[in-house]
Structures are given as C-alpha cells and as structure tokens.
Structure 1
Amino acid sequence: MSQEHTSRTTNATVEAQYEEYLMPIWKELNVPVRRADGWTVEDFDGNEYLDVFSGISVTNVGHGNEAVVEAAKEQLDEFVHGCTYVHPHQPAAELGEKLAEVTPGDLQKSFFCNSGTEAVEGAIKLARKYTGNKEVLALEMSFHGRTLGSLALTGNKAYKSDMAPTINDVAHVAPPYAYRCQLCDGGPCSCACAEDVERVIDTHTADDLAAVVVEPVMGEGGIIVPPEGWLSRVQEIAHDHGALLIVDEVQSGYGRTGELWASDHFDVVPDIMPQAKGIANGLPLGAFTARPEIADAFESGDHLSTFGGNPVACAAALATIEELQGGIVDDARERGAWLSDRLADLEAYDVVGETRGLGLMQGVELVDPSDTGPMDVAPAPDPKLAKHVGHHLREAGIVIGVGGFHSNVLRFQPPLAIPRDELERTVAAIEDALDDWD
C-alpha cells in the first residue's frame, strides 16, 4: 500500500472493509491499528491508545521490539519458507534447542505449528499415540481454541453454540475457581476441585484416559489462579490412571505471569506443554514440547504442518526469548506484584468482587452486590458494568480486555515492560469508570 493511500485511510475505511469483505469477527471495543510501538497503538485517525491487552497476551516484549524485528528482517533476506518438515533449517533447529533449555524439567523435543489451537490439538494427538488411550479430561470454563478438536476441550457453551458435534471422548471437571467455588461451600479452599477429577474419571470415562488438559492460569475463564497444590494433585491423579498432564501455556507462557512459565509457580513439570501467543511476539508460531520418550511416540508422517516452524517466525522467537531473559520477565514479576497490590484497592468498591492474578496476568471481577447469584456463593456477575468500564477506558485512550466466563472480568495483559505510571493511569481510569457507574 502506498504512503499516499495509507494517509487517506481512516478508521471508517478499515471498518467498512471489515464489514464487507471479512467474516464477522469485529467487536465494538476493538481499535483499528495503523502502527504500534512499545505499549502504545495508533489508529488511522491519529488517536493513540495505551495497550494493556497486547493482542490477547501476544506482544510480551512490546510492539515493534527492535531485536525481534531485526531478527525477522535478517531471516527474510535469507529465505522465507522451506517447510520445516521437508527441508531442515537452522532457525527451527536452534529454537528447538533453546526450548529444550528453557522449558520446565526434562521437556526436550518440540513440534512447531502456527497457533495455540494447533499446539493443543497436536498435544492431544501425541498423548493418544503415546498412551494408546483416547479419552481426555478438561476443565469447565476453560478455553483451548476454536477448531472442532480444541473446541471439544473448551468448557464454555458460548464458543460451542451451533458447532456440535466436536470430537468425542471428552469430559469436563470443575475449575479451580475459588471465588465462585460450590465444592467448598464458601469456606476455606480445600482443593476439592482437584479431588473432583478422580470422581469424574470414575463416573464419566471408560478407563481409557489419555490426558488431562489444563491451563495453569485460566485466561478466557477470567484470570483464574488455582490454589496451591491443585496442579500437582491433578497431575498425580492423571498419572495414577496412566494418563498424561498437558499444561496449556499458550496464554500464560513467555513471562506473562512473572516466571517464564506459569507452571514454574506451582513446581510442576508438564508431560506435554503447548505454547503460542508470546512465543514470537506477534509472528504466527505455536509449539508443543514433550519429554523425549513421549515425543518419540510420533513416527514420521504422524503429524505435519506446511507452515509450522516458519524460519522467519522461528528467528523472531529466538530473539523474543533472548529479550525475555534479558530482564523483561523480571519486569513482569516486579510490576505485576505492584499491580496486584494496587488492584486490591479496588475491592473497596462493592461492585468489585475480587481481584486476582500472577505477574502481568491480572483480573478484576465485577459484580452486582444486590444479586447474590446462583447458590449464594458470590454476588452475581455484572457484564454490563464490565462493558461500561471497557467503553470508559477506550474513551480515555486505553485498550483493556473485557471477558471471563461471565463476561464480567477486566483483563490486564500488557506488554511486560510497561512502566508503572501507565499501569497507574489504567487503574485510575477504572476508578473513574466505577465512580461514574449509576
């Protein structure tokens, strides 16, 4: 596109093109983007916005990170495509070695694909091939993608409407959602949701379990952090039944939680670990990594991807990991701790039910205190208030995520080096929006 044509383009131009030529994906809180830098995006009308969502937890090392851009450009000058699984190339080989170095425990061999959805589906195929079993357990309120296979794992009917049937042999268990937990009857957390995995295996499976699939922090579910001991107990139960634990780090990985992997907070080494989103800071790439004996269950041709492990994306991923290891993960840990404390101040508002998160993956759950909600566990979710706050922030020049299972959670997932004053600006804008709520 010529500079002259770009200068004539407006937000309305792009929105009209989306309406006429793209299938329905547009949401009213979205901002058309002409350029982006660091933690700021600019639209076609010259408006600048603070981005505290980073494309759903993707640009972890910042929009336009110079090292990542240069690595991609250098690879573009060499070659763009060779199909990783036909022509071995150095960027994929080096990235595989790097992932073996930085992933938890003895995870070593990776398969490269294009997205988180593909990574999750590939992990399921590998678990089935290794164990010889077919059944899979996932969590209620979870999200693992939108293709038919990953959608079967996703525990939210909002994503499944009109899409059944998906794959068979999937059952769901209670999520570790302490704020609305009906298993602990509003008392102190007893990790009853972990023990519920045993019950569901006994009552909903045919003793043919291949894997239990979980997010270590549930992103789309509303930034749900499990209690201490939950993840290790789920892994123990899975192993007792001859199944593998697949920990979906697509959204929570690559420094997002203040550790390189959310699994690190819980001292758990997954059997297979899908990754994507932050892996290449915006270039399309996904991966799943496994222990050698599990990975070697795949034989040549069992699983392939034409564009998976694209050399440009792999070069960008290597630069992204180097940037993360250069101090950006430390930034996420320090700023996330500050943000967690600052968000806790919002609980003084009776419409804020809970604030929670790890690192720079933080959520604010908004509620209607006049409605006790189902089974009196907690006040009812208030998605209208969440939508109001999202609109208020956009008018104030801030892009934030609004989601969660009940569509009532504000989601902080900014670039990890975002300055503290920009986070304060966002929290202050939320306070303004809450004060404005009638």
Structure 2
Amino acid sequence: MFVSPPLPATPPTEKLTLAGVAGGLLALLLALTDADPGRRQLWFYAALGLVSSGTLAWSWLKFGGHPAGVQQDNLWRRASTARGAVAWATGLALTGFYVVLYWFSDNDGLGHFGLLNNLVHALDGFSHSLRARPADQWFLYGTFYTLAVLLMGARALWKYRHSRYQLIRTASVMFFQLGFAFLLPGLLQFFQQPEFYFTYFWPLKYDYLFPGTVTSLLHNGGVGVFMVFWGAVMSLVATPVLTYYFGKRWYCSWVCGCGGLAETAGDPYRHLADKSRAAWRWEVRLIYPILGLIILITALLWAHFATGGTLLGDAGNVAAKWYGFAIGSVFSGVIGVGFYPLMGARVWCRFGCPMAAYLGLLQKHFSRFRISTNGGQCISCGNCSNVCEMGIDVQQYAQRGAPVVRAACVGCGLCSTACPRGVLNLENGPREGRLQASQLIHADSLRILS
C-alpha cells in the first residue's frame, strides 16, 4: 500500500513570520474590544503593521528565496488549502466578517457602527486626512480590502517573478485597487464631490445606470456629467471594443477589484475551482439569468422614470433593493469571498457576476482573444487544469490541440505560466482560428444539456 511521505517541515524563520501575522490578528482583536480610544488606535495600527510585515516577510521567505516557478506542491495535502480544518476556520471567519459588515454595522446616526465600531473609529484620523470626514464601516472595509490586495499582490509578484505577463498583470490590479478604487473615491469626497468608482461599470456596479443615480450625478455639475458619460461609454461602448481585441481579461484580470482580490488573496485557493460538468451546468443556469435580471430591472426603472413614476409604483425600487441584498451582498460578498478557502477564489466571478456574463458572451462570440494550444507537445501533466480558477479543464483542450475559447476564461494566463512545455499561448488572433474551438464547445454544450 502506498503511503505518502510526510509534509515538509516549515522552517523556523517562516514560523516566526507567521507568528507575527498571528500577533497582528490578536492585536486586531484587542483593538475591537478595548474601550480606551488611545489604546484602541495603538492596537489597531500595531495590528496592521504586524500583519503587513509578517505577510511580506513570509512571502519573501516562501517564494523570493526559492527558485522561480509555479509551485503547486502539496496543496491537496495541507489543511489550509485542501478544505481541511484550517480552511473551514478561515472560511467561517471571512463569512462572519462579511455578515457583521453588511448587517450588524449600520450607522445609528450617533457615530456608532455596531460590532465594528471600535475598528471603524480607529481609522477616523486617516479618513479625515483622505476624505475630510469620519470613517464608516465601508471605509474600514475598503482599507482592509486594499491592504489584502497589496500584501497578497506582493506575494504573487515574488511567486510569479519569472513571468513578465504575471508581473505586469499583478501590478495592474494592485495599481487600480489602490489608486482608482480606494484613493480617488476618497479624494473626490475630500473635495465635496460624489463618491465614484471609475473601475466599476454597469452591470457589475448596477446602480450607475439607474435613473436615480444618473439624475443625482447630473445635478452635481460638470464632474457629475463626466461621471455619467464615463459610466455609459465604458459600459456600452468601450467594453465591447476592448473585449473584441483583448477578451474579458482586460477587465476581469487587469482592472476589476473583485478579480484583483481573487488573483492576489485568492491565489492559494485557485486549484479548488470545481471542474465537473455539473459545476458548468450551474454556471450557465446562474450567471446568465442574473445578467438578464439586472438588465430587466434597469429597463423597468427607466420606463418607470420616463412615465413620471406612475408605471411601477414602488415595485422597481423594491426589486432593485432585493437584487442588491441577494446578489450585491450575499452572493458577491458573503459567498464570493467567504467561500474562498472552500470553493476557490472565483465563485462570484464564475457563477454570479453580471459583468463577467456580459464580457463572457462578447468573448465567446465576437472576441479575437483565445488561448492557442499545441497538442503534440502536451504531456498531460494536468498543471494547466489545476491552476485554472474558473473551473476549465484546460488539459482537455491541450490534448486535442484545440484553442481555448470559453466564456468563463478570464485570461489570467496561469495555465500558460504553469505549463512546463510551452503548449499554451495567449493570443489576440483572427476569428477564423476560433472555429475549431467553437465547434468543440458547441458539441460539449449539447452533451451537457442532454
């Protein structure tokens, strides 16, 4: 009987850095419970410092001090990355945080933010400097979110330093998260302008094309008019054009904050994506109806607006609120991030994101982007399928020498990076080269639906 060898022991230096991260989490707990404002702020920033320094030091020791290359060893044997006890504990902690953030941290009008009140007010000084106003739970969340992208982005830079494509792509999501999704919205508020996220577009940021949001922005003068123009052009004009030339990767893997967190903080869990046909069926059953639902809600709200508010009564706004609760909060937040350690990092992108569905339809049917394969060189090692976070069995395409043309593919390029033989290549070629893959996908779809 085969007995797998024991896991390699963690070096003492790595243990020391992980102890620093654990100390930071303990300091964060003390900041959450300490009633003294001065000590609370001290604990909070000590926590950020310990977590940041510990994560960066561990990343360098783990990846920077070893030969470059995609290292996927023992992922299915570790409790943290194989749905073991550590993974479940991490998933429960992340899910609990999102539940508290969304439903137990409302501002009561007196500056109290529920269970996260102490952590929120520990950021008041930073918030005043950036936004000229006190912190709230969303500023706390944005700070944590951005820090996670930056720290785990540094880990990815060390881990994939041998790949120019991965270095540029990782730097891109770090830049857009820090600059356009965190600092710029804060500076807009500092100058008493509407908070606006220039890297989020309809239908992902669904309310940006709702009549109420558009009317409100238009009343804010030239800046508001530009925001409406930007949102409409990026959603309806730039997105199809960019997707035609570059596939959905220009957004999902280079710009989007959801994708940015998945590609950095979610990188240790990319192998957990379900690659079964049953998962593919659920992908089709969920993501396209969600896209259709937000299109319908947007159209109904505009029809209601055009009729002077007499068409739907409160039904349109109620539908929008329920969509925001079920899809915008539960699916994208609680499930989308909380289930990273159990279902992989792209659960939201794969099964729920309407922007991914929109981009995927464009990519599958109209884009020049594809991943070409050379079946004669494939050795069936399975590395490409193992690293695919979107649940695509890339190896099957490689073995047949068929280009990968899938609506789900976000063009992260890890399949190509992980291939030891250079079988897979990301290309923006003529559409004629997509014919074989389209025929194979059609045949696979018929088998799935039968």
TM-score in terms of structure 1 length: 0.28
- Whose Rg is larger? 2
Ranked by relative contact order (alpha carbons within 8 Å, sequence separation 6 or more), the top structure is 1
> What TM-score, normalized by structure 2, do the two folds share?
0.27
Between Structure 1 and Structure 2, the one with more strand by share is 1
Q: Counting helix residues as a fraction of each chain, which structure ranks higher? A: 2
